[in-house]
Structure 1
Amino acid sequence: MRWSARLTGAPWRAATPAASGEPVTVPGPRDPSATPGLLDLRDIHELYDLRNVLGRLPAPVAVTYGPLHQLGYANSAYRELFGERTNGLPAGEALPELTALGVLPLMDQVIRSGRPRSVKARCILGLGGSRYYNVACVPLGSEEEPGPPVGVLIFASEVTDQVQAATRLREAERRQREAAVTLQRSLLPQKLEQPADLRVAATYQPGGAEAAVGGDWYDVIGLGGGRTALVIGDVMGRGLRAAAVMGQLRTAVRAYARLDLPPHEVMRLLDGLAMEIDANQIATCTYAVWDPEPGTLLYASAGHLPLLLRCPDGTVLRGEEQNGPPLGTGGGTHLSHTLRLLPGTTGVLYTDGLVERRDEDIDQGLDLLARALGGAVGGPDVVCARLLRAMGVTSEHDDDVAVLAFQLSAEQAAEAPLDSGSAEV
C-alpha cells in the first residue's frame, strides 16, 4: 500500500493519466505579466487600518503632521500615560511632555532631513515614580514622491527596568571600587622611611570613577649598614583581588628584604610566591638597594618598566638592562644590575599607568616622561607632583598610577672604585 502526505485544505491529486493510457496535457508557460493573488496598496489599506493597528500597540504612539507638528493621532496607550490630548493643536501645546523630554528638536530634524531620530532613557516624572523611555521619531512619507515628510510618528518604549538595573549595577561597582581603593591605600606605607643620605617621596593616584582599581604599590625599606631598599610593583588585573594580591606581595618583599639577599634572589622568591597565591595573577616589580658606602644602586626587574635617572647635569638616562619575566610566570632568570650614582642624582620608579595610553605606543609615553623628568627640578615630592601633571594624570585618569622618587644628597661622595660590570651615572 502506498502512503502520501496531505496538507490540510489541499485537494486530492488524481492518479496520473499515463497509467491508464490516457493522453497527458502539459500546461502552457505562465504569463510573467500576470500576478494573480497579489493585493494592491488599496487592498492592504482596506485590510489593515493604520489607526486600528496603532491603537492595539501597548506602547505610546502619536502622529503629528506639518512643520508645527500638529497632533493628528495619539493611541490609547499614549492617552492613558499622559492624559487626553487635543487633535489639531501644535505639539508644543498638545504634547507638552515631548518638550520636557527634549523630543521636539528631533522632530524638526526629522522634517528637515527625512531621516529618523531617537533619544534613549529619557526620564518622565509624575507618573507614579520615575519612568524611563526610549523615544523614536520616524518620518511619514508624502503623497507626492519625492518630497519632504508630511508628518512624524513618535514611538516610545519603556526601559525603566533596564535603567534601574543599570543603576543598581553602577552602584554596586561604585561600592566595590571604594572598598578596593580603601584596601589599596591601607596596604600602602602610611609614612616612608627617610634615610639620612637619601630623600624619598611617593604618590598613589587611583583611576577615575570609570576605572577599576588595580594593584599598584611602592615601598621603602631600611636595611642594615645604612642601606635602603626601594620597591615598585604592579599586579595585573583590577578590583579587590588585585589589591589583596598586592598586599601579600608587599608583605613578602619586606620579609625577604630582611634576609639580605641580592635583588635577583628576592625576585626569584617572589616569583614562586606569586604562583602559589594565584597562578592566573601575574605582577611586575622592580627591587633596588641603595648602598651609600660605595654609592651604588643594585637592582633587578621582573617585567617592570625601566628605571629613569636624572644626572646632576640634567641628562636623563633610561635603564636598558635585561628584564626578567613578570612574577608568577615561573622558571624565569632574573639578573641584578649595578649603577654608580653621582651626588645630586634623582631617580624615578613608576607603574604603567603613568606612561601607557590606549592610542599611543608606550615608547612615546616613556620619551615624554624622560623629558618631563629633565625639567622637574626640586625635591622628590615636587618631582612626583610635576610628573603627574606633565603626564596628564588627573582624578579621572583611566588607570592607577604609583610613582616613587628618590634623590641623593648633593654632598654624597662616592670614593670606592667601580665594581666590574657597574655603570656610573
Structure 2
Amino acid sequence: MNLMRWSARLTGAAWRAALPAAPAEPVTVPGPREPTTAPALLDLCDLHELYDLRDVLRRLPAPIAVTYGPLHQLGYANRAYRELFGERTNGLPASEALPELAALGVLPLLDQVIRSGRPRSVKARCILGLGGSRYYNVSCVPLGAELSTVGPPPAHSAAHSADHSTERAPGRPPGRTNGRAHGAGGTDPAAVLIFATEITDQVQAATRLREAERRQREAAVTLQRSLLPQKLEQPADLRVAATYQPGGAEAAVGGDWYDVIGLGGGRTALVIGDVMGRGLRAAAVMGQLRTAVRAYARLDLPPHEVMHLLDGIAMEIDANQIATCTYAIWDPAPGTLLYASAGHLPLLLRCPDGTVLRGEEQNGPPLGTGGGTHLSHTLRLLPGTTGVLYTDGLVERRDEDIDQGLDQLARTLSGAVGEPEVVCARLLRAMGVTSDHDDDVAVLAFHLPADLPVPPDPGPSLDSANTEV
C-alpha cells in the first residue's frame, strides 16, 4: 500500500504532488501569513453575541444575581440562586427583591462597587433557615454596559418581570446609550454581578479543628498545672513565690516549670526550667525532668553535677527535644547562692540599695544536647536582696531583641519592692503578660528578709571561684 498517497487524504495533512517536468512558469511558494492578514479576532465585548451569557449563568451551580442602576434593581437571578432562596421578582430594588443580601451584609458593597468600579467581597457569612447554618463567600463584580445585558431592563413592571421570570431574553439596562454607560466619561459600571460560593464544609472543618485544638490545649494546661507544685515550701529565712501564666488561645502550652525543694542543713533548692516545644509532649517531658531534678536534689549534689545528670536523662527521654534550666541552692549559713545554668536566661538580683545585677552569663549548653561543660557559680547575698528566675516568655518578643526585654525587666525589678507575690505580679504586668500572651511564662521570685543577721565576712557580691564538670 502506498502510505504516502493515503496520508495525503487525511484531514489536515498536506498534499504532496510531483512538480511538472517542465513548468511553464516558475512556481511561487507563498510565505507565512502576516497576523494582519488573518481573519479579525472576535472582540471580547461581542462575546454576548456569540454566547448567551444568560444561558451560561443559568447553567452554573453557584448562586448568581445581577442588579442594575443606583437602586440596584434586580435584573437576573440564575436557577441556583432561585433554588436556594426562592423565586425573585425582577425590577425591584435589591433591598426588597434580595433580602438575603442584607443578612449577608452585601447591600453596602453594591454602592461601593458602583462608585469605585472595583470588586468587593465578604467572607464566611452565615445564612440561617436553609436546612441549618450555611456559610458563603460573596463577591460583587462591576459589569460594564457591554456585558451587562444579562437580565431584563428594570423599567419593566414587577408583574411583567414575574410573568417572564429571569429566563427570558436579555434586555438593555437603563443608563446605556450608544453602547456605553452613563457616568464620568461614560465608564461607570452599569451593573453588579453578585456571585456566592458556599464554604459550609470548610467552615465546619475549621470549627472542628479549632475545637480539637482547644481540647488539646485544655488538656495540656491541665497536665502542666498538675505537674507544677501546688504549694511552695517556705523556708524560715527565705520568702518564695511563683506564678505560671499559660499562653493565649492561639498559643500552644509549652513546658515551663519551677520548683522549690527543701534540703538538709536549712538549705533550699530553687529551680526554673523551660522545655522547647509546645503541647502535651512538652508538658510530659517537663514533668519527667521536674521529677528527676527532685530526685537528684536529694542526693545533695552541687548544681553543676545535677545539670550533668539532667542532660543525660533528657537525651533518654527524647533526643530531639531540648530544655533549659537553672538550679540554685541557697545556703543561709554563709549567705551564698550556689547555682548552675544549662542554656537558661540569667537570674536577676535586686540589691538592698536598688541596684540590679545579672547572674554569671557563662553557662553550659541546654539539656538534651549531650556533653558540654556546666559551671557552678557562687553569689553572696545581703539581707534585703530580691532574686528572680524566669522563662523566656517574660522577656522575649517577636519584634525586638531579647536584650531589650532583659533591660526592661531589670528596670522594672529595680523599683519592685514588697513580698515575692507582689514582685511576680508587678513583673507580669510591666512586661505586658496577659491572658492573650503568645507564650507561656513562669516566674520564681525569692526575697531575703532585711532583718536577717549579716553573714560573717560577706566579701564581694560575686565570687570568682567556680566549679566545673
TM-score calculated relative to the size of structure 2: 0.83
Q: 1:259 to 1:78 in 2, by over 3 A?
A: same
In structure 2, what is the equivalent of residue 95 of structure 1? 98
- Could you give the per-residue CA deviations for residues 157-213 of structure 1, whole angstroms, max 9, x where no partner exists? 111111000000000000000000000000000000000000000000001111100
* More displaced stretch, 103-112 vs 302-311: 103-112
Deviation at 1:104, TM superposition (A): 1.1
Go from structure 1 to structure 2 and tell me whether the alpha carbon gap of 1:233 and 1:205 turns closer, same or farther (over 3 Å shift): same
Q: Is the 8 A contact 1:212 1:239 kept in 2?
A: yes
Shift of 1:23: 4.7
Instruction: Provide Cα deviations, 1:235-265, integer angstroms capped at 9, x if missing partner.
Output: 0000000000000000000000011111111
Match status 1:380 vs 2:410: no
Query: Displacement, 1:293?
Result: 0.6
Percent of counterpart pairs with the same letter?
A: 90
Measured in 2, the distance between the counterparts of 1:316 and 1:15 equals 103
* Alpha-carbon shift at residue 67 of structure 1 (Å): 1.6
Do the aligned partners of residues 29 and 132 (structure 1) sit closer, same or farther apart at CA in structure 2, a change above 3 Å counting? closer
- 5+ residue gaps, structure 2, are 145-188, 452-460
- Classify 1:80/1:209 alpha carbon distance in 2 versus 1 (closer, same or farther; 3 Å): same
Distance between the aligned counterparts of 1:177 and 1:407, measured in 2? Answer: 34
Residue-by-residue CA offset, 1:41-94 (whole Å, 9 max, x unaligned): 576323211101111100000111112111111101001101111111111111
Task: Pick from 412, 418, 425 the counterpart of residue 462 of structure 2.
Answer: 418
Structure-2 change in CA distance of 1:10 and 1:155 (3 Å): farther
8 A Cα contact 2:376 2:468, kept in partner: no
CA 221–157 in structure 1, closer or farther in 2 if over 3 Å, else same: same
Q: Is the 8 A contact 2:420 2:447 kept in 1?
A: yes
**Displacement after TM superposition at 1:30 (Å):** 3.6
Contact 2:375 2:468 in 1 (8 A): no
- 8 Å contact from structure 2 (residues 325, 342) kept in 1: yes
Q: CA, structure 1 residues 75+14, in 2 after alignment: closer, same or farther (shift >3 Å)?
A: farther
Counterpart-to-counterpart distance in 2, 1:18 and 1:332: 95
- TM-fit CA distance, 1:227: 0.5
Which of these two proteins has the greater Rg computed from alpha carbons?
A: 2
Q: Secondary structure at the match of 1:194?
A: coil
Query: What CA distance in whole angstroms lies between the structure 2 residues aligned with 1:252 and 1:366?
Result: 29
Contact 1:64 1:71 in 2 (8 A): yes
Cα distance between partner residues in 1 of 2:468 and 2:13: 98
CA 1:163–1:42 in 2, change beyond 3 Å: closer, same or farther? closer
Shift of 1:26: 1.4
Cα shift readout 1:308-328 (whole Å, capped 9, x = no counterpart): 110000111112430211100
Q: Which deviations, in whole Å up to 9, do the C-alpha atoms of 1:284-303 show, x marking residues without a partner?
A: 00000000010000001111
Inter-partner Cα distance in structure 2 for 1:170 and 1:213: 15
Does the Cα contact within 8 Å between 1:339 and 1:423 map onto a contact in 2?
A: no
- Partners of 1:418 and 1:89 lie apart in 2 by 85
**TM-score normalised per structure 1:** 0.92
List structure 1 runs of 4+ shifted beyond 6 angstroms.
Answer: 1-7, 16-22, 422-425
Tell me, yes or no, if structure 1 residue 237 matches structure 2 residue 240: no
1:400 Cα offset (Å): 0.3
Change (3 A) 1:15 1:321: same
Deviations 1:266-297 (A, max 9, x none): 00000011011001000000000000010000
Kindly provide the CA deviation profile for residues 117-161 of structure 1, in whole angstroms up to 9, marking residues without a partner as x.
Answer: 1111111110000011111111112xxxxxxx1121110011111
Judge which range, 362-371 or 5-14, deviates more. Answer: 5-14
> What is the rounded CA distance, in whole Å, between the counterparts of 1:187 and 1:378 in structure 2?
28
The residue matched to 1:54 in structure 2 has which SS? Answer: helix
Distance 1:60 1:230 in 2: 65
SS of the counterpart of 1:137? Answer: strand
- Give the deviation of 1:32 after TM superposition: 4.4
Number of the residue aligned with 1:309: 349
Distance of 2:352 and 2:297 partners within structure 1: 29
The question of whether the paired residues in 1 share the 8 Å contact of 2:255 and 2:285 is answered with yes
d(CA) in 1 for partners of 2:69, 2:10: 51
Preserved CA contact (<8 Å) 1:133 1:156: yes
Please give the alpha-carbon distance, in whole angstroms, between the structure 2 residues aligned to 1:3 and 1:312: 107
Supply the RMSD in Å over aligned alpha carbons: 2.9
Structure 1's unaligned 5+ residue stretches are 142-148, 412-416
Say whether the 8 Å CA contact 2:375–2:467 is kept in structure 1: no
Matches of 2:39 and 2:320 in 1, distance apart? 68
Determine if contact 1:340/1:422 at 8 Å carries over to the other structure: no
Aligned-partner SS, 2:5: coil
Aligned 8 A contact 2:248 2:437 in 1: yes
Inter-CA distance 68–10: structure 2 relative to 1 (3 Å threshold): farther
Classify 1:274/1:159 alpha carbon distance in 2 versus 1 (closer, same or farther; 3 Å): same
Corresponding residue SS for 1:3: helix
Does 125-134 or 100-109 show the bigger shift?
100-109
Secondary structure at 1:80 match in 2: helix
Contact 1:308 1:347 in 2 (8 A): yes
Change (3 A) 1:326 1:16: farther
Shift of 1:372: 1.0
Q: Distance in 1 between matches of 2:450 and 2:43?
A: 95
Instruction: Report the 3-state secondary structure (helix = DSSP H, G, I; strand = E; otherwise coil) of the residue aligned with 1:237.
Output: coil
Preserved CA contact (<8 Å) 1:17 1:24: no
Q: 1:275 to 1:29 in 2, by over 3 A?
A: closer
Offset at 1:220? Answer: 0.2
SS class of match (2:242) = strand
Q: CA deviation at 1:40?
A: 3.7
- Bigger drift between 341-350 and 1-10 goes to 1-10
Secondary structure of 1:265's aligned partner: helix
Is the contact made by 1:57 and 1:77 (CA closer than 8 Å) also made in structure 2?
Answer: yes
